[in-house]
């Protein structure tokens, strides 16, 4: 016979446990998700791909946000204070982050996703160091090479393994599955580039974010010197860009989701180059957009590049 008093006490205890902050349920087992902060949206996607349902990820710089010029909010400090793991890009991208970590009192482990990547030199080293956004001499946009993305994933996997040893088998399996997907996407990128006539494998953007893409895949992005997401282009800058386009017969200019489109539209109008669409460089789109994940971003970008550059004489 069921003891109703004991049953009632058991149910009450269960409800009280469920009401405790930080206690969640996955299937039949109580699992407290690992709280992770990622500095920007691309890293947040990487963490979700490896972490799966064992992690709760908060990006500081969200979709379509620019990590170069970001200003942290009180909500960011709260997220940092509650995190057990913070994943950053490094290579001087997040100049505002050390101050946020200190002011939040965070005790989280900080994992640098670019550890082990050989950086290339940045063409935007003149960024405003006083504003906390100086790249130094290293180009921080290493994720634009899928080979580098594999290193990001390995570093994130290792960081999650260390932060949550009980989830190691899950993290390792998720990472392996995702790496296999990256192999497929890289094959698609290389095949698309091969379909573009060699003489047309060049374009203009207003932000030097594609250096690693250039090195890996052979499409030349001619980012105008002295122009970045942190500064307005002068009339002299614009005139120089137009001369560059005409002299090098650049087929297309591209917008970026983190830059003001007016400059590129002006350059296209005055140079005769066509606007080749919007590329996602430093941030993902929101979930309803064309680049809601890293893989979607790479597929979207190469599709836009091929459409703009493949047509025309070799």
Task: Report how far residue 34's alpha carbon sits from residue 50's, in angstroms, rounded to the nearest whole number.
Answer: 12
pLDDT the model gives residue 229: 52
Q: How far is CA 56 from CA 27, 62, 234, in A?
A: 16, 15, 43
For 40, the enclosing helix (H) or strand (E) is strand 34-40
Q: Strand pairing of 220-221 and 202-204?
A: parallel
Q: Is pLDDT at 149 greater than 60 in this prediction?
A: yes
Beta-carbon count within 10 A of 261 CB: 13
Q: How far is CA 278 from CA 72, 124, 158, 289, in A?
A: 26, 21, 34, 12
**pLDDT band (50, 70, 90) for residue 131:** very low
Beta-carbon count within 10 A of 206 CB: 24
pLDDT, one tens digit per residue, over 252-265 is: 988 887 676 787 78
Residue-range domain boundaries for the chain: 25-183, 186-310
Order of strands, sheet of 85-88, starting from the edge strand that comes earlier in the sequence: 55-61, 34-40, 85-88, 109-112
Nearest to 115, CA basis, from 136, 91, 97: 91
Q: Strand pairing of 220-221 and 252-256?
A: unpaired
If you average pLDDT over each of 54-58, 137-141, 256-260, which comes out highest? 54-58
Encoding tokens for residue 42? 């691309």
pLDDT the model gives residue 19: 40
Confidence (pTM): 0.84
The CA-based angle 267-124-239, given to 5 degrees, is 25
What value does the mean pLDDT of the chain take?
86
Task: Report how far residue 257's alpha carbon sits from residue 204's, in angstroms, rounded to the nearest whole number.
Answer: 14
Residue with tokens 């946000």: 65
Domain 25-183 and domain 186-310 have a common topology: yes
Q: Is pLDDT at 291 greater than 90 in this prediction?
A: yes
pLDDT the model gives residue 123: 67
pLDDT, one tens digit per residue, over 64-86 is: 999 999 999 999 999 999 999 99
pLDDT the model gives residue 51: 99
The third-level CATH classification (topology) of the domain covering 186-310 is Rossmann fold (3.40.50)
Task: Report how far residue 51's alpha carbon sits from residue 94's, in angstroms, rounded to the nearest whole number.
Answer: 23
Burial environment of residue 53 by CB neighbours within 10 A (0 to 12, 13 to 18, 19 or more): middle
The CA-based angle 207-134-57, given to 5 degrees, is 80
CATH C-level class of 25-183: alpha beta
Alpha helices in 142-194 (DSSP H): 146-163, 168-194
């Amino acid at each position: 016979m069921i003891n109703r008093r004991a049953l009632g006490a058991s149910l009450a205890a269960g409800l009280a446990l469920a009401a405790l902050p930080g206690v969640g349920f996955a299937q039949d087992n109580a699992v407290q998700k690992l709280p992770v902060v990622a500095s920007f949206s691309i890293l947040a996607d990487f963490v979700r791909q490896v972490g799966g349902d064992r992690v709760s990820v908060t990006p500081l710089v969200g979709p379509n946000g620019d990590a170069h010029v970001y200003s942290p909010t009180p909500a960011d400090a709260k997220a940092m204070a509650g995190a057990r793991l913070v994943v950053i890009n490094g290579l001087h991208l997040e100049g505002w982050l050390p101050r946020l970590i200190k002011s939040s009192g965070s005790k989280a482990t900080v994992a640098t996703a670019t550890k082990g990547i050989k950086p290339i030199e940045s063409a935007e080293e003149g960024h405003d160091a006083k504003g906390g956004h100086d790249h130094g001499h290293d180009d921080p946009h290493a994720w634009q090479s899928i080979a580098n993305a594999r290193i990001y994933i390995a570093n994130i996997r290792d960081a999650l393994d260390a932060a949550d040893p009980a989830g190691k088998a899950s993290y390792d399996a998720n990472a392996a599955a995702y790496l296999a997907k990256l192999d497929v996407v890289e094959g698609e990128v290389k095949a698309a580039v091969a379909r573009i006539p060699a003489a047309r494998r060049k374009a203009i953007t207003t932000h030097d974010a594609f250096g690693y893409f250039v090195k890996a895949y052979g499409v030349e992005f001619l980012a105008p010197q002295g122009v970045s997401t942190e500064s307005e282009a002068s009339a002299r800058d614009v005139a120089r860009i137009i001369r560059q386009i005409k002299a090098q017969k650049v087929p297309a200019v591209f917008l970026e989701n983190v830059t003001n489109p007016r400059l590129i539209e002006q350059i296209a109008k005055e140079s005769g180059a066509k606007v080749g669409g919007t590329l996602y460089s430093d941030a993902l789109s929101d979930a309803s957009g064309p680049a809601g994940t890293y893989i979607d971003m790479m597929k979207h970008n190469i599709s836009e590049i091929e459409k703009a550059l493949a047509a025309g004489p070799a």
